[in-house]
Amino acid sequence: MMREILERLAEKESLTEREIGMAMERLFSDEVTDSEISAFLIGLKMKGETIEEIAGLVNGIRANALPFKKIPGSLDNCGTGGDGLKTFNVSSTSAFVIAAAGIPVAKHGNRSVSSKTGSADVLEELGIQLNLTEERLQEIIDEVGIAFLYAPNVHPKIKRIQKVRKDLGIPTVFNLLGPLMNPVDLDTQFLGVYRRDLTKMFAEVLQALGRKRAVVLNGAGSMDEASLQGDNYLVILDNGTMKEVTLHPEDVGLPVYPNEAIVGGYAAENAEILRNVLKGKQGAHRDTVLLNAGIGIFTGGKADSIQEGIEKAKELIDSGAALEKLQRLIEASNAQKEAI
């Protein structure tokens, strides 16, 4: 059956949901060869992936991930990476502000791919334990309102595919799947992409995956976060309807900064930036987090507009509520380690 699927891809024929399902079963089996994995990834890339195929791939990956119970109102905020701007960990910092707004955040991420420091790197530097059981992660979301789902930990069966991807050394559909692979059945999502032409496609994929509400954004300067440099392009998904809007920082009372103003470094430096923002330090880092957290709070339904979300983000940082979320997550993630 895999041979038939590969032949169809070679003829540039799109796959049905059933065929994608069969291909994913094969990719996760012990019988699959590296050559088959490579041919499948290259075949999809050469043909061009459809919305149905991407959604099918994501569902197949999630079906083989650690199982999580439904978390009502849950949100993830993340970017695809790939913008090459090497900014500090904007989404990780913003996640604590969003969680402080009362939105359960299931933050899914990995170590560095295109930047110096990935979300896992900076959170580990802050003292957050990465390799927790799904039961403990679920408890932490319930207790603290935010947990970090380390991708290699929650997707134990994907190692073989990742090895082939690394050996290939070229971008494939899996470079786009990271923000979509969260094993939690999310209600809402704020997702950044580094290419403007991908915003509508990602919104359609999120709709196919059952998101009730989502914002997909391409930042100024091709950043995969909301940027203070200029116009940001958003697709807002709300219960099946989509709206495309442009947002400039001055539209919501924020200053303009070049993307170079928020370049980060390695884990220790980015951890310090994250702490300083949550402690209320003024400047480009804080204002970038205000914009991104404001959009996240709006996406999660705790604000009626992005402007209102930004005002709430300011209050949550200045009151210490966002910093408290970080401190509680550090304590909660280490509690299991201390008990062993």
pLDDT tens digits, 113-152: 656 788 999 999 999 999 999 999 999 999 999 999 999 9
Q: Known binder of ligand: residue 241?
A: no
Is 108 annotated as a binding-site member? yes
- CATH number, domain of 198, equals 3.40.1030.10
Last residue of a domain, one of 31, 48, 65: 48
Q: Which of 27, 22, 53 is nearest to 38 (CA)?
A: 27
Instruction: Tell whether residue 112 is among the known ligand binding residues.
Output: yes
The response to whether 73 counts as a known ligand-binding position is no
pLDDT at 18: 82
Q: 89 and 12 in one domain?
A: no
| The predicted structure's pLDDT at residue 141 | 97
Q: Is the residue at 65 inside a domain? A: no
Q: Which band of pLDDT confidence, cut at 50, 70 and 90, is reported for residue 84?
A: confident
Average pLDDT, integer, range 13-40: 91
**Is 192 flagged in the annotation as binding?**
no
Q: Is 242 inside any structural domain?
A: yes
User: Which pLDDT tens digit goes with each residue over 186-217?
Assistant: 999 999 999 999 999 999 999 999 999 999 99
Q: Is the pLDDT of residue 22 over 70?
A: yes
Strand pairing class (232-238; 146-150): unpaired
In a shared domain, residues 32 and 123: no
Ligand-binding annotation for 110, yes or no, is: yes
| 245 and 293 assigned to the same domain | yes
Residue 292 labelled as part of a binding site = no
Say if 67 falls within a structural domain: no
Domain match, 274 and 327 both: yes
79 belongs to an annotated ligand binding site: yes
pLDDT at residue number 339: 45
Residue 336 pLDDT > 80:
no
- Separation between Cα atoms, residue 4 and residue 270, nearest integer Å: 48
- Is 230 among the annotated ligand-binding positions? no
> From start to end of the chain, where are the E strands?
75-79, 105-109, 146-150, 188-192, 213-218, 232-238, 241-247
pLDDT at site 198: 93
Q: Would residue 56 count as lying in a domain?
A: no
Residue 83: what pLDDT?
84
Last-in-domain residue among 48, 64, 85: 48
More confident position, 290 or 336? 290
In a domain, 148, yes or no: yes
Residue 340 binned pLDDT confidence (cut-offs 50, 70, 90): very low
* 34 marked as part of a ligand binding site: no
- My answer on whether 29 and 114 are in the same domain is no
Question: Looking at residue 7, what is its pLDDT?
Answer: 94
Cα separation, 48 vs 54, in Å, equals 10
Query: Does pLDDT of 338 surpass 60?
Result: no
The response to whether 82 counts as a known ligand-binding position is: yes
Confirm whether residue 113 is marked as ligand binding. yes
299 shares its domain with 171: yes
List the domain range (segments joined by +) for residue 107: 75-331
Of 73, 46, 41, the C-alpha closest to 57 is 41
Residue 221 lies inside a defined structural domain of this protein: yes
Is 18 marked within a binding site?
no
Instruction: Show the 3-state SS of 105-167.
Output: EEEEECCCCCCCCCHHHHHHHCCCCCCCCHHHHHHHHHHHCEEEEEHHHHCHHHHHHHHHHHH
pLDDT at 117: 81
Is 294 within a domain? Answer: yes
> What is the pLDDT confidence band of residue 171, given thresholds at 50, 70 and 90?
confident
Residue length, the chain? 340
User: Do 138 and 257 share a domain, yes or no?
Assistant: yes
In the chain, the number of structural domains is 2
One domain, residues 14 and 138: no
Q: Is 224 annotated as a binding residue?
A: yes
- 94 phi/psi in degrees, rounded to 5: -65, -30
**Co-location of 26 and 139 in the same domain:** no
> At residue 15, does pLDDT exceed 50?
yes
Same-domain status, 91 and 193: yes
Same domain, 143 and 12: no
112 neighbors 154 (Cβ within 8 angstroms): no
Backbone angles phi, psi at 251, to 5 degrees: -65, -25
86 annotated as a binding-site residue: no
- Structural domain contains residue 6: yes
| Residue 179 and residue 43 share a domain | no
> Span 326-338, mean pLDDT?
87
Q: How far is CA 305 from CA 64, 71, 184, 296, 309, in A?
A: 37, 24, 26, 11, 6
